A = this chain, B = another copy of it.
Amino acid sequence: MDGVLADVYSRFFDLHEEETGIRLTVQDIIGLKEAEAFPSQLNWVNSPGFFRTIPVMAGSRKVLEKLNVQYEVVVVSMATEFPNCLTDKQLWLMEHYPFISWKQIVFSGRKDIIQADIMIDDHVKNLDKFKGETIMFTQPHNMNNPDSKHTRVDTWEEIEKLLLI
C-alpha cells in the first residue's frame, strides 16, 4: 500500500518542509530508508489521521481497477506496527479504490506468509522473501538496489504494460 498505492513520499516532503523550512528532493534522499531521510517520519506515521491525508499514487486507481477485473487482487499492507492507523488505512483504501472490497484487504505484521502469484512492492526485503513473480515499484529508498532479481517499474503505466497489455 505505502509506496505503491499511497504516495507517502509526497506527503513526507511536504511535512518535512513544514517542520524545517527545507524542501528536500528525491535526489537528496536516494538510497536512504524513510526514517533516515525524514527524522520525524515515525511521529507522523503514528499520528491518528495521517493516513487519511496521503495522495494516491499517480495512475494507480485506473490501473488497479483494470487489474481487479483480470486478476484476483489483494492489497496487503504492513500496518500492525501502528495500531492507531489501521482504521485510517482501510478508510483511505475504501475512499480511493472503492472497487476493492474488505475481502481483498490484509493488514499484516509480516508479508512472507501471504500466498500469491505476483507481488508488487517497494521494499526489497518483502520482494526477496516472495516465491512468485516480483515487481519492484521504484521509490527513493530502493533506487540504489540492483534490479537483477525483481522487475523494476517506475509508474503504474508500466505495471499496466507488464500485466495487462
Contacts and interface: CB of A to CB of B under 8 A. Distances in A.
Interface of A: 74, 79-81, 83-84, 86-87, 90-91, 94, 101-110, 113-116
B109 A113 contact: no
Contacts of A115: 113-115
Nearest to A72: B113
Integer count of this chain's copies in the complex: 2
* 7 smallest beta-carbon distances between A and B, as pairs: A86-B86, A83-B90, A103-B109, A80-B102, A107-B107, A80-B105, A106-B108
Tell me if A's interface is mostly helix, strand, loop or mixed.
mixed
Given A87-B87, A106-B106, A107-B86, A113 B74 contact: yes
